[in-house]
Amino acid sequence: MTQGSGERAEAYCVLDADEREYLVGVIGAGPGFDTILEIVAGEEFREFLPPMQLAGLVGLPADDPRRRGALLSGAPVYPDCRALFAAHPAINLVVELRSGVSRREILDAMPPGASLIDNTASFFLCALSNAVSVGAHCRMRLDHQKLLLEAIVDEVQEDIALLSAAGTVVDLNRNILHRLGLPKEILVGQPCSVLRSGPDDPPFCDPDDPACPFRLALSTGKKAERLHTAVSADGKLRYYRTYTYPIADASGKIGHVVVFRRDITDRTMGEISARQAERIETVGRLSSYLAHEIRNPLFAASGFARRLSLMDGLPESAKEKAGIVLEELTRMEALLKQFLEFARPVGAVVGQADVERVAREAVQTVGLEAETRRVGLSLDIPPGLPAVTLDPALLKQCLVNLLRNAVEDLPHGGLVSVAADRDGQRVRLRVADSGRGATREHLENMFSPFYKGDHCEYGLGLAMVKKVVDDFGGAVEAAGQPGGGCVITLFLPPVLAGPEDKG
């Protein structure tokens, strides 16, 4: 077919413009007979050939077992080609397979408009059959490999996405679909920003960020990775690691990037907790050593300063200085007491604590300090909570530390609440404040002893809480609150019922 002037002529192979059905007559049972029957009757060839139906056969011996085969079901056998054509004048395709009948005889007997494929040309139909069989086998293997790969990718619990060089979604695994709650059809073709669950969710690609692993993989042609930290919608600190792998085409041009994003929060928090425990242990040993080394000279100096401040005839300026020394020594004694409490092993202290009673006592202890700072304290603990496996004095000390830390975080007043409930098999005790909230830095270092950061400084109070709760088989968790403020949760093991407690 020739197109307009100046355009390239293009040829098209068309089987039949009206896609008519071919009525086939087979003459002879020579080489290729079985293949020709499969081509005529097989559905797998409909993709490549027009519809065909077997009208009848000539030259198949009466004792040939193929007469009873499925491919010849209902197809009559005739003594010669003239009988075949007489019975089926609508035959429009004849295949001759070394029948012993001359081509001239067949051509003379064929219905008008019918086409002849002799035994030589039938070789190409046999070659087509082989090609289709090989193609079907390859397609089956490819389908198997595709299903296997999809199953592996979908079972991986990380986010996996295939992005184009332009940053649009080409494909993604089931983990992303489950997290977003959207079908794949909606996400494919969209910019990669749609793969985020919220503003705090690390992006898969960020064209405006030069350190984005997606951009690095495109520009360098090498694997890139990055650690992300984010505060989730429930205020908890999450850690993600993103890996990107560039995919080049046959010409070497990078057309796609595979992005893996893994939530490594549990592993990272475990490592942080282990580091904090190591620091706490080191500080505990150091505290014990310093406390014993400093206690005697400190007590002696305090006694001398107290007597000096009370001496008659001492000038007022000297008494004032002695008073300052006494105040500082008293402050050092309080710090020394805190060191001793921190260094004291607590795991061997056995006890059972009533959460409601201990929480009420802790609130009363901090009540005056909170009132002075214009901070309100609330208590919400339902009846019927089981006792927890923790010494009551230690639990009260932990709550007092948490309450004082929360009150100090509210220099302009606010509200601190204490609440408790059941969390599966554990008792959950929460202390929340309405302060300025917790940043990622605060959440990560809150339980590290003597940590000092922007707008925050932690001594031994929160580290002591973690040490006590961990030693008794519980857990401590810090999170920010959506409306601002911070909440620290203690997960405490309940007291198991003994034989005398069972009915």
Write out the two tokens for 59: 């030259």
* Range ranked top by mean pLDDT from 148-162, 353-367, 481-495: 353-367
Q: What is the pLDDT of residue 19?
A: 61
Write out the two tokens for 81: 């080609």
Cα–Cα distance measured from residue 267 to residue 263, given in angstroms and rounded to the nearest whole number: 9
Q: What is the pLDDT of residue 137?
A: 67
Cα–Cα distance measured from residue 466 to residue 345, given in angstroms and rounded to the nearest whole number: 13
Domain boundaries, the chain: 22-130, 156-263, 284-343, 355-500
Tell which wins on pLDDT, 335 or 185.
185
Q: What is the pLDDT of residue 4?
A: 42
Q: Average pLDDT of 200-204?
A: 75
Q: What is the pLDDT of residue 457?
A: 57
| Contact between 111 and 91 (Cβ < 8 Å) | yes
pLDDT in tens, 253-268: 888 998 888 888 878 7
135 backbone dihedrals φ, ψ, rounded to 5°:
-60, -40
Cα–Cα distance measured from residue 229 to residue 237, given in angstroms and rounded to the nearest whole number: 7
Q: List the strands of the sheet with 375-380, edge to edge.
A: 375-380, 414-423, 426-433, 486-492, 475-480
Write out the two tokens for 386: 């089981």
pLDDT above 80 (res 175): yes
Q: What is the pLDDT of residue 428?
A: 92
- At 165, the amino acid letter reads A
Q: How many CB atoms lie within 10 A of CB 422?
A: 13
pLDDT above 50 (res 16): no
Fold of 355-500: Heat Shock Protein 90 (3.30.565)
| Contact between 237 and 229 (Cβ < 8 Å) | yes
Please, which pLDDT band fits residue 363 given cuts at 50, 70 and 90?
Answer: very high
Fold of 156-263: Beta-Lactamase (3.30.450)
Q: Does domain 22-130 have CATH number 3.40.50.720?
A: yes
pLDDT in tens, 212-224: 888 889 888 899 9
Strand, coil or helix: what is 416?
strand
pLDDT above 70 (res 349): no
pLDDT in tens, 138-174: 777 776 666 666 666 666 678 888 899 888 998 888 8
Strand, coil or helix: what is 167?
coil
Q: What is the pLDDT of residue 100?
A: 78
Cα–Cα distance measured from residue 260 to residue 161, given in angstroms and rounded to the nearest whole number: 7
Cα–Cα distance measured from residue 298 to residue 332, given in angstroms and rounded to the nearest whole number: 8
Cα–Cα distance measured from residue 162 to residue 221, given in angstroms and rounded to the nearest whole number: 15
Give 151's Cβ-side CA count (13 Å radius). Answer: 6
Please, which pLDDT band fits residue 359 given cuts at 50, 70 and 90?
Answer: very high
Give 245's Cβ-side CA count (13 Å radius). Answer: 7
pLDDT in tens, 428-475: 999 998 877 677 777 777 777 766 655 555 667 788 888 888 888 888
**Predicted TM-score (pTM) above 0.95:** no
Q: Average pLDDT of 257-286?
A: 76
Specify the DSSP class assigned to residue 59. Answer: S
